[in-house]
Structure 1
Amino acid sequence: MSRDDTRDEAPTRRDYMRYGGAIVGGGLLAGCAGQSDSGSTPSEPESSTEDGSYTVEMFPVDEVEFEGVPESVTTYNMGWADMVVSLGQVDKLQTNRLTAPTLFYDRFDIDYDRDWPPLWQDGGMPKEIFYEHDPDAFLIDPNLIQAWDDNWDESDIEEIETTVAPFFGCHNRRIRADWQKEQGYPERAPTMPEAFETVGTVLDEPARTEAWLDLHEELQAELRSRIPDDGETPSVGLINSGSAPDKGEFYALYLEDTGYEMKPYRDLGVVEADAFAGVETGQYGMTDYETMLEVDPDIILVHWGITTGSVTFGGDGAFDAEQFHEEFVTPMENDDIGSQLTAVREGRVLPGPTAEQGPLVNAFQTELTARLFYPEEFGELDFDAPLDVPEENQLFDRQRVADIINGDI
């Protein structure tokens, strides 16, 4: 499958979604598989059985049978949680995680119950927690559980699916682990919009799903029509928020990485501007001030930086510009080498998007990323309110988002 997400809205996919929506409305549900490199069309819709059960297909879980439309779902990756939120099904969500918190959701009066036991505890995922959640579906990749916790094997997965609920998920946020490569994720994992389509099928939300995919398609078209073509794309050095400039420790990330966490950069067409491309780094991309000065990017973006000041970081949900500056900018300004960096001298050490994103968060982050790279075209970023954009500069209609979530389509 091509990792260029601008392909996600190809006519065959959109036609299929409309066909699938009509089938759902008639009492049937569509199965949907991720596309291969050949651009093959999704599988044909499958009929529900007399008892109301139905199957939906997606890599890597293949065909999954549901006894009925889930009334509760447990997630781990918050990009998948955002898919549920985007479909207006927040009341079904069971998670304690806050990776995409009030920064995005408060503006639509969205809140969810976070009083659930964490799936990740003491370096693993205890099986009893899955029983405690007891949802109708786990929107979690079972391969991820086995990769991260050696106590799990296929028999444990089968036990939970038999006694609690099916697993339906794909760890498609970041696709670079050895276990993912061995199992074909780079070629077969669904993109975020493709995964969203299957979640929409599972939750029987064809109208909201189609509305979101239309909005995504229109946003992408607007973005492409306005990206400057003068060849002046600034170079960017993307560092993880786990970096510690005060200690001279930076964790480089690569824009070419597959998975939905880099989707805004692919959609903006700036992957080739990656200052770290081809640069040798240590474990987890660790590097230092000397290497930072060697690549000397025009912009230094902090991955997950937009959530600095969020509930996750102990804040109140709004981006905290002062905290961001103290944690990432000031140490560079005070370092003999760091102060020589072009991005530091020109005030372009900036908060980058969070990695976790479904349709709602991605819409805001696509717009944010455009403003980070091309402020002359898309508007200057207001660091006190980075998601507040003058109406004339908005790439999508906020009221339409609210209407989709509320079902006023």
Structure 2
Amino acid sequence: MSDDDTDTTAPSRRDYVKYGGAVVGGGLLAGCAGRSKSGSTPDSNGTETGSTNETGSSTDDGSADTAEDGSYSVEMFPVGEVEFESVPEAVTTYNMGWADMVVSLGQADKLQTNRLSAPTLFYDRLDIDYDNDWPPLWQDGGIPKEVLYEHDPDAFLIDPNLIQAWDDNWDDSDVEEIESNVGPFFGCHNRRIRSDWQQEMGYPERAPSMLEAFEKVGTVLDERARTEAWLDLHEDLQSEVESRLPDDGETPSIGLINSGSSPENGEFYALYLEDNGYEMKPYRDLGLVDADAFAGVETGQYGKTDYETLLEVDPDVIVVHWGVTTGSVTFGGDGAFDAERFREKFVAPMENDEVGSQLTAVEEGRVVPGPTAEQGPLVNAFQTELTARLFYPEEFGEVDTEAPLDVPEGERLFDRQRVRDIVNGDI
């Protein structure tokens, strides 16, 4: 599908179930099965449209063309063209990555979320204040509409298809009710693109990348200058890293396991570096996809595997996905990385297992905390730096496994003060 195939409607997952995977809703392609074999970032769908007589819309340069009444619209897959009466003063999101987009734009005071689960790790070191004392959206196995009314934001940075995929109590009428009575949905579940409903609805081809989604959020929040500053910083960081990557092709093989794994019980959940979505962005950007030890390996549901399979592939490095957030609220901590807790949960059980102790990564002390899956521009900057140091220590410096994000000033790959300045609006 070309970038000019713009969709201005938002067919839900249930539409695809109802019509048996047929093409509906102005051109969305269904039936795209299987995992992408490319390590590239997914392309966005559609182009931004010009202004209209009645309602302003986003323009080719990413800015919003505002109508006389102050309204404007921004287009993004899968929600289509969304109209905003004015710049939102409060937004609610479920994903930490989308929350980080808002924080990166200096708008943390607009967030109504409890999803900043590892703030100490990234934000406290930059003196960024936030309020995550809001009711969780996920309650009792679903997302009740009542909690969305309770938040009462001007916009939900949430993919409505995700809500319907997770909570069978929701259908299109519920989405329409919330949009009519509270605010519009403007989000895309682009962190991980593996579910059947995403394949059917064309997410692998049409979901925006993290940076593309960030640009859209910047337009919605009328923060074009900060957006451009972040894009420049990201480009500079990528150029710096790429210019220093070794050209000898020697990269350690990587076994990426989810933090939901239980080494104590011999249960692991393998992840694939080739997967679409922004959670694998640091690995793609550093050219590490071909180093995936699990590539082509058959695993069970959700990538479930065991010590025997791990030993068969025997990766040089075992990386725990979300590992840097060991110490977050999820793990019963206060937000800062907890090296003792990480070792207790992931490393020691492998060392004490008869098969696990034979793994090269275990023998050489290379079971390491990896990046969190959730990331906007700010978190991604830290995690690109972390990933470079994890796999190319001779060039970028050794990771301190007691404090993986602490980097000596002379080895930093981006300017922390520049990040503070962007967030603070000193551009």
Q: Same fold (TM over 0.5)?
A: yes
Superposition pairs for residues 119-158 of structure 1, below 5 Å?
A: 119-158=137-176
Work out which of the residue numbers 285, 292, 312 in structure 2 matches 1:274: 292
User: Residues 36-65 of structure 1: CA distance to partner in whole angstroms, max 9, x if unpaired?
Assistant: xxxxxx698663222111000100011000
Backbone CA RMSD of aligned residues: 2.1
Q: Check 1:43–1:186 CA distance in 2 against 1; reply closer, same or farther (3 A cut).
A: farther
The separation in 1 between residues aligned to 2:400 and 2:423, in whole angstroms, is: 26
Whether 1:342 aligns to 2:351 is no
State the match for 2:40 in structure 1. 4
State the match for 1:36 in structure 2. none
State the match for 1:359 in structure 2. 377
State the match for 1:203 in structure 2. 221
What is the CA distance between 1:392 and its match in structure 2? 2.1
Work out which of the residue numbers 89, 99, 102 in structure 2 matches 1:71: 89
What is the CA distance between 1:312 and its match in structure 2? 3.0
The separation in 1 between residues aligned to 2:319 and 2:39, in whole angstroms, is: 22
State the match for 1:31 in structure 2. 58
The separation in 2 between residues aligned to 1:222 and 1:30, in whole angstroms, is: 36
User: Residues 328-364 of structure 1: CA distance to partner in whole angstroms, max 9, x if unpaired?
Assistant: 1111111111010000000100000000000000000
Q: Check 1:7–1:393 CA distance in 2 against 1; reply closer, same or farther (3 A cut).
A: farther
Q: TM-score, normalised by structure 2?
A: 0.87
State the match for 1:61 in structure 2. 79
Q: Check 1:160–1:7 CA distance in 2 against 1; reply closer, same or farther (3 A cut).
A: closer
Q: Which letter maps to 2:347?
A: V
State the match for 1:39 in structure 2. none
Q: Tell me the number of residue pairs that the alignment of Structure 1 and Structure 2 aligns.
A: 385
User: Residues 138-192 of structure 1: CA distance to partner in whole angstroms, max 9, x if unpaired?
Assistant: 0000110111111111111111111110000000000010000100000000000
Q: Which letter maps to 1:293?
A: L
Q: Which letter maps to 1:351?
A: P
User: Residues 5-49 of structure 1: CA distance to partner in whole angstroms, max 9, x if unpaired?
Assistant: 4999xxxx9xx9xxx9xx9xxxx97627xxxxxxxxx69866322
Superposition pairs for residues 228-377 of structure 1, below 5 Å?
A: 228-377=246-395
Please give the secondary structure, in 1, of the residue aligned with 2:123: helix
State the match for 1:168 in structure 2. 186
Q: Which letter maps to 2:218?
A: G
Q: Which letter maps to 1:163?
A: N
Whether 1:107 aligns to 2:125 is yes
Retained in 2: the 8 A contact 1:211–1:404?
yes
The separation in 2 between residues aligned to 1:30 and 1:199, in whole angstroms, is: 14
Retained in 1: the 8 A contact 2:255–2:292?
yes
Q: Check 1:81–1:45 CA distance in 2 against 1; reply closer, same or farther (3 A cut).
A: closer
What is the CA distance between 1:229 and its match in structure 2? 1.1
The separation in 1 between residues aligned to 2:279 and 2:396, in whole angstroms, is: 22
The separation in 1 between residues aligned to 2:64 and 2:421, in whole angstroms, is: 30
Q: Check 1:73–1:44 CA distance in 2 against 1; reply closer, same or farther (3 A cut).
A: closer
Q: Which letter maps to 1:178?
A: D
The separation in 1 between residues aligned to 2:230 and 2:261, in whole angstroms, is: 34
User: Residues 212-251 of structure 1: CA distance to partner in whole angstroms, max 9, x if unpaired?
Assistant: 0000011011111111111111000000001010110110
The separation in 2 between residues aligned to 1:394 and 1:154, in whole angstroms, is: 47
The separation in 2 between residues aligned to 1:144 and 1:130, in whole angstroms, is: 15
Whether 1:50 aligns to 2:86 is no
Retained in 2: the 8 A contact 1:100–1:357?
no
Please give the secondary structure, in 2, of the residue aligned with 1:326: helix
The separation in 2 between residues aligned to 1:46 and 1:6, in whole angstroms, is: 24
The separation in 2 between residues aligned to 1:6 and 1:226, in whole angstroms, is: 25
Retained in 1: the 8 A contact 2:42–2:277?
no
The separation in 1 between residues aligned to 2:120 and 2:345, in whole angstroms, is: 21
What is the CA distance between 1:208 and its match in structure 2? 0.3
Q: Which letter maps to 1:251?
A: Y
Please give the secondary structure, in 1, of the residue aligned with 2:298: coil
State the match for 2:245 in structure 1. 227
Please give the secondary structure, in 2, of the residue aligned with 1:167: coil
Q: Check 1:369–1:30 CA distance in 2 against 1; reply closer, same or farther (3 A cut).
A: farther
User: Residues 290-311 of structure 1: CA distance to partner in whole angstroms, max 9, x if unpaired?
Assistant: 0000000000000000000123
The separation in 2 between residues aligned to 1:100 and 1:171, in whole angstroms, is: 20
Work out which of the residue numbers 187, 194, 215 in structure 1 matches 2:205: 187
The separation in 1 between residues aligned to 2:131 and 2:62, in whole angstroms, is: 36
Richer in helix (by share): 1
Gaps of 5+ in 1: 33-41
The separation in 1 between residues aligned to 2:147 and 2:39, in whole angstroms, is: 34
Retained in 1: the 8 A contact 2:272–2:292?
yes
Please give the secondary structure, in 2, of the residue aligned with 1:138: strand
The separation in 2 between residues aligned to 1:289 and 1:43, in whole angstroms, is: 51
Please give the secondary structure, in 2, of the residue aligned with 1:82: helix
Q: TM-score, normalised by structure 1?
A: 0.90
The separation in 2 between residues aligned to 1:152 and 1:312, in whole angstroms, is: 26
Of residues 109-118 and 227-236 in structure 1, the stretch that sits farther from structure 2 once superposed is: 109-118
User: Residues 101-124 of structure 1: CA distance to partner in whole angstroms, max 9, x if unpaired?
Assistant: 211000111232222111111111
Retained in 2: the 8 A contact 1:101–1:312?
no
Gaps of 5+ in 2: 4-37
Q: Which letter maps to 2:272?
A: Y
Please give the secondary structure, in 2, of the residue aligned with 1:63: strand
The separation in 1 between residues aligned to 2:160 and 2:42, in whole angstroms, is: 28
